[in-house]
Amino acid sequence: MVRGVCAYILGLVLLWAGPLCATTAYQIIDLGTLGGPYGKAHAINEAGNVAGLAYGDTGWPYAEHAAVWQGTTVASDLGTLGGSTSRALAINNDNVVVGWARTAEGTSRGFRWNNGVMEALGTLGGDNSCAYDIAENGQAVGWANLSDGRYQATLWQGDDVVNLGTLGGDYSIAYGINNGGTIVGVAETATYRDMAVLWGPDQTLELGLLEGGSWSAARGINDHEQVILWADNGAGHNRACLWDQGQITELGTFGGQDSWAFDLNNNGDIVGWAEAVDGTYQAFVYRDEEMINLGTLGGAFSSAYGINDRGDIVGQAQTTDGYQHAVLWRPVPEPAAVLLLLGGSLLARRRCARRRR
**Is 291 among the domain residues?**
no
**Is 216 among the domain residues?**
no
**Is 293 among the domain residues?**
no
CB atoms closer than 10 angstroms to residue 76: 15
**Is 11 among the domain residues?**
yes
Q: Residue 4 belongs to what domain range? A: 1-22+334-357
Q: Is residue 227 within 8 Å of 263, Cβ to Cβ?
A: no
**Is 346 among the domain residues?**
yes
Quote the number of domains for the chain.
1
**Is 347 among the domain residues?**
yes
CB atoms closer than 10 angstroms to residue 183: 27
The helix (H) or strand (E) run that includes residue 39 is: strand 35-44
**Is 12 among the domain residues?**
yes
Residue 354, C-beta contacts closer than 8 angstroms, at least 6 positions apart: none
**Is 18 among the domain residues?**
yes
The helix (H) or strand (E) run that includes residue 354 is: helix 335-356
Q: What is the mean pLDDT of each run of 10 residues along the chain (357 residues)?
A: 43 40 80 91 97 79 88 88 96 98 97 97 97 98 97 96 97 98 98 97 94 97 98 96 97 98 98 98 96 97 98 97 96 63 46 41
pTM of the complete model:
0.87
